[in-house]
Every structure is written in structure tokens, then in C-alpha cells.
Amino acid sequence: MSGTRTHCPYCALQCAMTLSTTTADADSVAAPVATVRAGAVTVAGRAFPTNRGGLCKKGWTAAELLVSPDRILEPLLRQVDGTFEPASWSDALDLVAAKLHETRAGFGADAVGVFGGGGLTNEKAYQLGKFTRVALRSSRIDYNGRFCMSSAAAAGNRAFGLDRGLPFRVDELDAADTILILGSNVAQTMPPFIGHLEGARAAGGLVVVDPRRTATARLTDDGAGMHVQPTPGSDLVLLLGLAHIVIAEKLADLDYLEARTTGFDAVRRSVSQWWPTRVQEHTGVPVWQLRELARRLAAGAARGKATGNGTYILTGRGVEQHADGTDTATAAINLSLLLGLVGTTHSGYGTLTGQGNGQGGREHGQKCDQLPGYRKISDPTARAHVAGVWGVDPDSLPGVGLPAVELLSALGEPGGIRCLLVHGSNVVVSAPNADRVRAALKTLDFLVVADFFFSETAVLADVVLPVTQWAEEEGTMTSLEGRVIRRRRAVDAPNGVRSELWIWQELARRLGSAGTFSAQASEVFDELCRASEGGLADYSGLSYALLDTEEPAFWPYPVGSTGTPRLFLDRFAHPDGLARLVAVTARRLGTPAQVGGTLTLITGRLLEHYQSGTQTRRVRELSDAQPDARLQLHPATAEQLGISDEAWVEVSNDRGTVRCRAQVSTDIRLDTVFLPFHFSGDQRANLLTDDETDPISGMPEFKKTTVRVRALVKAGADV
């Protein structure tokens, strides 16, 4: 038996695992097993600071993805009658290259668009950005991380001058006195993470803000902390109110504010109107709880100075996936700065990255306005540096493109995108206003999808390209704590499957591209490191040789350094070294509608599934546990609407209609319903969500959608 050290293919916690291959009978292996071509692959948890040997259901069953009967094993071309037929790689890539050339020649380079994914390795994310800008000469690239981390990233950049999800190690949370989690259900989205909350729970200091009583919120029971249950979309007001109390009750760290920040006076004035009774009116959170929470956060911060066990504030998608998500994340940062939490050795602020490489995927070129190393594509110095590494003229690089929702809105429009390449994303399920996206994809002249499985987006493609999975490839990922880690090949890919690195190399050659495109992950990583040198996300001191020693590798990691596990200890990334408190205003007030069946929908994840479900819906154990979507609603609301548990319901608005079963539960507010977003067909939650976006980050409004709910048939009956 041989073992390969690698990491889970799912979330950004990037739990460590060992994959062992054996020819023994699968029944003789105790750990979860999936049979593969060479025998069997056994998944075992591995000691690592983030997961300490533990894995969730998704991690334990990940090897089943390697042998799924749904796996695409050769290129597929759409026929005139709409069916797909296999093709050779040569024929498929010749066709793609010809269509790309034809589109660019007839309509300009920006008529070709590229949509990437936060699950791609650093090497693939980097090479995809390079391919788009050098081989295609197009500015039209963005990725599904725009739906995940963009608001937090924008807030971090303007407050600190730099965005890294957690600017400290995950295991530093172990000793925290107080942890405030805003809008994240880590107990289900990344279960091994909850081990790092035990210190705060023991101290009675775990605070969870969520409209639902989630598995994470239940961790606060029995004196372990506090569950705060605001109305959906009122998080910004809640945070402004907490800042008001901190200032009014003289709980702010004035010495820290004077020495390390700027903008305090403007924030003090802006929060003065959010006194506790007014905040209670808009959020539903009682005054006593607001005051108790503010005092607990401040007391934990003060204890941290004496004991080293301070207060941490963590945000997640629940407060960020809004059309005012950047301002909400900024308000959380303001609260952290008022309490003196950021850039110390005892406390901190961070945001919980969701996708496996959500951090690295946004650092090196998939975002429409960025070049490798977190450089701005509009910066002449940045363009010159990266162009030098790529061996092209800086003037040949395109400018700023379109963020994801705008890019998808430009599909098939006059003067818009006529040809689209999709890598590592399933936008028919994951994008907001999903039916509009599906309709737009069908208007394209040409659609290419690279995937392991025949996703809902691949069904619409003209060409489907089968690509390698996590255990079949080399590469690196960057976890939620900014740690760069190695992904190692454990098994050979099926004969007809290729890496995207090879695909882009072949297409670049066919297009006569400038520059060079390697298909070797180690060579691409070395080039990425050179391109990032001197940037905010500097990887220049890293190499596969260093990462293979299992040494901690936290970026920035410039040449000659040993990495940066904790950011901002000496200074922030702005030129003057100071953090910015930024005054923000709550413009989207009002309580959720609750007239008849009109309610507020929030969306989110389940323990068993991940993202659009393209992978997890193909794992039997996970699919059997959660085979379809359920609409969670409160018993009193269900009774009012004549809906019983497990009855079929219709959830609708002007954008679409979802039909699913009801899940009646006291874990949700009376005015709110919840749908998971992992399912397909008429169970897609994103049929209902709005494509209105945050004006700064481009984040869509996922967490506050007005819907109508009604029973499809008489309560208690089936369809």
C-alpha cells in the first residue's frame, strides 16, 4: 500500500488527508473506500492544524468522485439534433480554436468571455487569467468567487489595504475568550472547524448571528454563548448599533485607534443615530442582547491584552451576500478596529472563505480587474511587471473587464459576448436569476464547458471537455488562512481526460499566441511566483520543494522570508501603515414582508452537499441523505398557509418558481424561509434570487429575496 499526502477537494478549510492505493479487496479496508482503476483508494484523515485528522462526510466520500459512472471520459461535440457524440482531442480543440478565431475576427476580442471557478488550483487560476489576456486578448473574464468572497475582499482592501480571509492561523482561535460568528454555519459547511471554537464555548463566549437556529447556533446552548437572531438583511444595522454602544459606553480602545487607524471621527458621527432601541426596531434583536453582546466583545478584547486570549470577529456569506455586502463587511471591520482587535497577537478579525481555493483563485488573475499577486490591471507598473514575466508588450494586455453578473448579462447581447468558455463552474445552478442565465447561454454562438461531469451548464454546451480531478493532478491551493498547500497526484487520470493546463497550452498554440504556456504544474507555479513578486499576494519565495517539506507557508512569502502567519502586526498595507475606519450608511431599511404567503427567502448550504451539487449529488451516501431541496419554514407560518411537514409547496416570485417539499422547523424565524442552493431543475434556489449587485464588489443579492409561498395541494396530501 502506498500513501499520498494531499487535501480535500471541497471547502477552503482544506482538510489534510492521505490517499492510499491498494489492490486488496475493498471490503477488507476499514476506512471509507472507493474502487478505482488500479484497485482501491482509501481516504484517511491526516494530522494538520486545521482539521487535526478529522474530515466531514464530504471528505470521507471524496474518492467516489474518481469512479463515478457519470464521469466524462472523452471530448463531446453537440450534433445538429442536440445530442452529443465523442470526438478526438485534436478535432475538439481544432473546432474550439476555429470558433475562437472566427469570433474574435468578426466581433473583436471582447466577444469571447471566460468564466472561471474558485475550486481551480492556483496554477489553473493563474494560467486561465493569462490565457484570457494573452492568447484571447480579451478583458471578459471573471469567476464564481464573485458570488462568494467579493464583498469581504472589497471591504478588507479598503480597510487594511490587503485582503486575506483570515490574517491569522486557524488554530489561534483555540484559545479565544470570545468569538463572534456573523452569517456562517461552520458546523455544517466545514465541520472540523468547530473544534477551534471549544475554548470560546468553555468560556461562555461563542456568539452566533443568524436568522436561523443552525447547527452552529446550537453550539451556544447550555451557557456556551449566545444566539442572536436578526431579521434577514439587517446585519448592517446590527453592526452599526454595536459600534454605537461600544463608543457610547466608552468601550473603544482609544489608544489603539489613535496609534493605528484613521477615520474614527467620521464613524463616530455615522453610528450616533443607531441607538439601541432604534436598532431593535429594525433588527428584532432586543436591547438587552445588543448591550450584552457589545460588552462581551469588549471584555474579551481587554482580557486578551492580559492573558493572550482575546476576541475574534468572523464573517461569512450570510452578511456578505447582499447588495450592500461590502458596507456590511466594512461595518464588521469597523467594530473590530474600535475594539482594537486587528493586527495584535491576541485577537483578530477575519472572513471565512468558502470555496476550496476561493483565496488563491482571486489572487492571481481570474477577477476582471486583477493581475497575479493581487495587482490591479489598471496600474501601469503592475502591467509592466506581469507583461515582462509573460514576455509580451504591456500595451497588448486588455483593461478592466466585467464582474460576473455583468459578464453573464452580456451573453448574446448586441456588442456583448458571443462565445464563452466555462471552467470549474456551473452557472445554471449557482448564478442569481438562474433562468435568465440559462436563457442567455442558449443564445450564444458557441459555448465550451470543461468539467468532470455533465453539469447543468455542460448540457447547453457545444463542446464539453473532460478534465482531471483533484486526486489526478499536481498543484497548489491557498486555504482560508492564507496557507499555500500542495495538492498531489495519487492516481492516474482516465486515458481520455486532460488537465486544463494542457488544454490551454494546445489552444494557445492553435491561436498563435504570444508568450509560452506550460502544461507542467510545477513550471506554471514557478512562473506564478515570479509574476506575483512585489505584489500584495507575493508568492515569490515559494516553490514545490519548499511546500513538499510541509513547512507552514503563509503569504505574503517574498524571497528571503519565512512567510506571514499573522498579518498587520507592525503596520497595515496602506502607504501610511494605518487601517481605515470607513463610515457606512444603512440605506436598505425595512422589515421583511409577511402578508399572507409573502416571506423573505434566505439561501445556504447543507452538510452533505457543496456548491451547485455537481459533485456531491453524484455520491450515493450524500445524495441518499439529502436527495432534494426542502423549504424550511416555521410551524406557525406553515399552519397559517395550510402547509404540513413534507407537503409539496410552491415558492415563487417574478423571476421564477421552485417546487419542493416543506420542512417545518422552529429553527427559523416566522417571517423567513430557507432553501439550500445545491439542487437542479425546478428545485434551484437561484431561480428566485435577484441579480441586483453591490456597487463596489459586484456581489449579487443572495440572502434577502421576497417570495410567495403556497401549498401545492391540500395540507397533508401528496402530489
What does the pLDDT look like over 362-415, one tens digit per residue? 889 999 999 999 999 999 999 999 999 999 999 999 999 999 999 999 999 999
pLDDT in tens, 172-196: 999 999 999 999 999 999 999 999 9
Q: What is the per-residue pLDDT for 17?
A: 95
Indicate whether 214 and 308 sit together in one domain. yes
Q: What is the per-residue pLDDT for 597?
A: 85
Mean pLDDT, residues 654-676 taken together? 96
What is the rounded distance in angstroms from the CA atom of residue 507 to the CA atom of residue 226?
A: 55
What is the rounded distance in angstroms from the CA atom of residue 419 to the CA atom of residue 448?
A: 8
The three cell numbers of residue 340 are 482594537
What is the rounded distance in angstroms from the CA atom of residue 89 to the CA atom of residue 465?
A: 9
Residues 6+ apart with CB under 8 A from 84: 76, 77, 78, 464
pLDDT at residue 134 is higher than 60: yes
Where would I find the H helices in 194-286? 198-202, 235-248, 254-260, 264-271, 276-283
* Residue 283 domain flag: yes
Check if the beta carbon of residue 582 is closer than 8 Å to that of residue 690: no
Indicate whether 477 and 616 sit together in one domain. no
pLDDT at residue 549 is higher than 80: yes
Q: What is the per-residue pLDDT for 156?
A: 96
Q: Which domain holds residue 642?
A: 598-711
Indicate whether 103 and 155 sit together in one domain. no
What is the rounded distance in angstroms from the CA atom of residue 146 to the CA atom of residue 117?
A: 9
Residues 6+ apart with CB under 8 A from 568: 160, 167, 342, 343, 579
Task: For residue 411, give the nearest of 447, 440, 446 by alpha carbon.
Answer: 440
Other Cβ atoms less than 10 A from the Cβ of 309: the count is 19
Indicate whether 164 and 282 sit together in one domain. yes
Q: Model confidence at 592, in pLDDT bands (50, 70, 90)? A: low
Domain boundary among 352, 375, 391: 352
How far lies 235's CA from each of 229, 519, 675, 697, in Å? 10, 45, 20, 17
* Residue 390 domain flag: yes
Please report, for the domain that includes residue 609, its CATH number: 2.40.40.20
Mean pLDDT, residues 17-37 taken together? 57
Q: What is the per-residue pLDDT for 37?
A: 39
Please report, for the domain that includes residue 332, its CATH number: 3.40.228.10
What is the overall mean pLDDT for the chain? Answer: 93
Task: For residue 447, give the nearest of 78, 709, 169 by alpha carbon.
Answer: 78
pLDDT at residue 259 is higher than 70: yes
Check if the beta carbon of residue 674 is closer than 8 Å to that of residue 604: yes
Please report, for the domain that includes residue 388, its CATH number: 3.40.50.740
Indicate whether 142 and 156 sit together in one domain. no
The three cell numbers of residue 317 are 456569506
pLDDT at residue 1 is higher than 50: no
pLDDT in tens, 686-705: 999 999 999 999 999 999 99
3-state secondary structure 514-536: CCCCCCCHHHHHHHHHHHHCCCC
pLDDT at residue 716 is higher than 60: no
pLDDT at residue 245 is higher than 80: yes
| CB neighbour class for 142 (10 Å; exposed up to 12, middle 13-18, buried from 19) | buried
Check if the beta carbon of residue 368 is closer than 8 Å to that of residue 402: yes
pLDDT at residue 33 is higher than 70: no
Residues 6+ apart with CB under 8 A from 254: none
Q: Provide the b/e sequence for 546-561 (b: ≥16 CB within 10 Å).
A: ebeeeeebbbbbbeee
What is the rounded distance in angstroms from the CA atom of residue 193 to the CA atom of residue 314?
A: 12
* Residue 456 domain flag: no
Domain count of the fold of the chain: 4
The three cell numbers of residue 441 are 447561454
CA 585 from chain center: how many Å? 26
Residue 91 C-beta-side C-alpha neighbours within 13 Å: 9
DSSP 595: B
* Residue 342 domain flag: yes
Indicate whether 100 and 162 sit together in one domain. no
Other Cβ atoms less than 10 A from the Cβ of 70: the count is 13
What is the rounded distance in angstroms from the CA atom of residue 697 to the CA atom of residue 379?
A: 19
Residues 6+ apart with CB under 8 A from 379: none
pLDDT in tens, 483-522: 999 999 999 999 999 999 999 999 999 999 999 999 999 9
Q: What is the per-residue pLDDT for 693?
A: 94
Indicate whether 664 and 621 sit together in one domain. yes
The three cell numbers of residue 139 are 478583458
How far lies 371's CA from each of 89, 149, 353, 399, 672, in Å? 30, 17, 20, 10, 41
* Residue 253 domain flag: yes
Domain boundary among 293, 321, 352: 352
Whether residue 556 has a cis bond before it, omega within 30° of 0 = yes
| CB neighbour class for 262 (10 Å; exposed up to 12, middle 13-18, buried from 19) | middle
Q: Which residues, in sequence order, are bridge partners of residue 602?
A: 674
Indicate whether 477 and 403 sit together in one domain. yes
Indicate whether 269 and 157 sit together in one domain. yes
pLDDT at residue 580 is higher than 80: yes
* Residue 375 domain flag: yes
Helix (H) or strand (E) holding 159: helix 150-160
If DSSP codes are grouped into helix, strand and coil, which group holds residue 100? helix
* Residue 415 domain flag: yes
Residues 6+ apart with CB under 8 A from 239: 182, 328, 331, 332, 334, 335
Domain boundary among 320, 352, 384: 352
Q: What is the per-residue pLDDT for 438?
A: 97
Indicate whether 251 and 316 sit together in one domain. yes
Residue type, 250: K
Task: For residue 168, give the nearest of 317, 8, 304 by alpha carbon.
Answer: 304
What is the rounded distance in angstroms from the CA atom of residue 579 to the CA atom of residue 313?
A: 16
Q: Model confidence at 553, in pLDDT bands (50, 70, 90)? A: very high
Q: What is the per-residue pLDDT for 30?
A: 45
Check if the beta carbon of residue 304 is closer than 8 Å to that of residue 311: yes
* Residue 454 domain flag: no
Supply φ then ψ for residue 7, to 5 degrees. -140, 160
Other Cβ atoms less than 10 A from the Cβ of 227: the count is 19
Mean pLDDT, residues 13-18 taken together? 95
Other Cβ atoms less than 10 A from the Cβ of 82: the count is 7
Please report, for the domain that includes residue 18, its CATH number: 2.20.25.90
Indicate whether 269 and 412 sit together in one domain. no
pLDDT at residue 31 is higher than 70: no
Task: For residue 706, give the nearest of 657, 652, 662, 658 by alpha carbon.
Answer: 652
Indicate whether 174 and 129 sit together in one domain. no
